[in-house]
Chains A and B, each alone.
Chain A
Amino acid sequence: MVEIVKNVVCPFCGCLCDDIEIMVEDGHIVGTRNACRIGHAKFMHFEGSVRYTEPLIRENKKDDFKKTDYDTAIEESARLLVESKLPLLYGFSSIGCEAQREAILIGEKIGAIVDNTATV
């Protein structure tokens, strides 16, 4: 059974087209309507891309990644950030405002540089 979700806002570019219809079957997106090619690709998730579903960690950048759990990965990240003299938090442009707020408050606590893609 294909279910159609209407009036979805497209999370790709700054146009935020709000008239997208998404076709969902068994919890998977099977098609879109009204979206442009780029928006369609974001929802459909092609490009042969590799999606991570578990946190990965490695001490040395030349080593291979090892699977870990969220608790360890976040704890280790927090340690790196706290021990750093001048940490940089960069990106932010493809997450919601609620998450942006949390991350900026982290930046304030640890005395970081906080910057997004508008800097480019």
Chain B
Amino acid sequence: MQDVGYPVCTLGEVKNRADLVIFWGCNPMHAHPRHMGRYSVFARGFFRERGRRDRTVVVVDPRKTDTAKLADLHLQVEPNKDYELISAMRAVLRGHELNVDRVAGVPVDIIYEAVEACKKAQFGQLFFGMGVTMSRGKHRIIDNAICLIIDLNAYTKFGLMPMRGHYNVNGFNQVLSWLTGYPYAVDFSRGYPRYNPGETSTIDLLVRGEVDVMMNIASDPGAHFPQRAVEHIAKIPVICVEPHQTPTTELSNIIIPTAFTGVEVGGIAYRMDGVPLELKKVVDPPEGVLTDEEVFKIMSKKIDEML
């Protein structure tokens, strides 16, 4: 993503303007249930008064998901062949002919149809999910997708946006970017920030067994990481800053419970389009339970004393 730039817009733009929406490797019907209703497909926008009837929906997914079922066009790509499909679409867009029957399992007729729909759109938006980022090629696929969007902008307006899973994934990328210049996977071990996914990214470090202590903050790698990464987590001392019992807390040495941000304590979070919103405190946390911020402030002081 850092190699090619990142054409974005807010979800409000999508709601008011988008007449073509692509969901690539994501299933908002289940993972982001109100996304289509509030922002992308069914929402009635300023220039899209009729909601769904004013929009074309394209889904790229190896499975016939519930999102794919309501799409106008479903490109049933073979697993791990997203990069090929994007390259084929870019080739078609540039006027090349595909001399095969299928690319990445998708009949070329459907690829032509999808590219034509993209070119005809007044305002298109590509949403991509873990199906893209977890396929073979990982962030290189996104690079290629961004290039597709750049190519499409020769014909019409087009943007893309990652479908963020947790509510403040984007917030962390924003905060880390303004502190270090890099969005994630930052290595401070040489005294200055370095960024090289594959070398300084969590799963690769765990699989290679390079880290010797892990502090896990409000997430559950024990349930979601590959087996070999979890095996290393089981071997090293683990600290969990986490309110709930999870598979990861079962592997940990220290559990520090905290209050729920957005329920028991306020704070700022960034929406998937980069709009910061203020979370509210609705009820009090259980007696004596500290917030994440308080825990890290105390820890920071203690570290200062030890260094």
Contact = CB atoms under 8 A, between A and B. Distances in A.
Interface of A: 5, 7-18, 22, 24, 27-29, 36-39, 42-43, 49-59, 61, 65, 70-71, 73-120
Given A52-B257, A99-B292, A11 B214 contact: no
A92 B168 CA distance: 8
A87 B188 CA distance: 10
Interface residues of B, number: 115
Q: Interface of chain A, helix or strand or loop or mixed? A: mixed
23 contacts: A11-B269, A13-B31, A13-B164, A14-B32, A14-B170, A15-B32, A16-B167, A24-B283, A37-B33, A49-B245, A51-B257, A53-B257, A53-B287, A58-B253, A73-B256, A74-B295, A90-B202, A95-B217, A97-B270, A101-B175, A104-B179, A113-B205, A116-B184
B166 A13 contact: yes
B33 A96 contact: no
Contacts of A16: 167, 269, 271-272, 275, 277
A119 B267 contact: no
B163 interface: yes
Interface of B: 11, 31-35, 38-39, 130, 133-134, 162-176, 179-180, 183-191, 193, 197, 200-203, 205-206, 210-219, 221, 224-225, 234, 237, 239, 241-245, 249, 251-258, 260-263, 265-272, 275-280, 282-284, 286-293, 295-300, 302-304, 306-307
B254 A95 contact: no
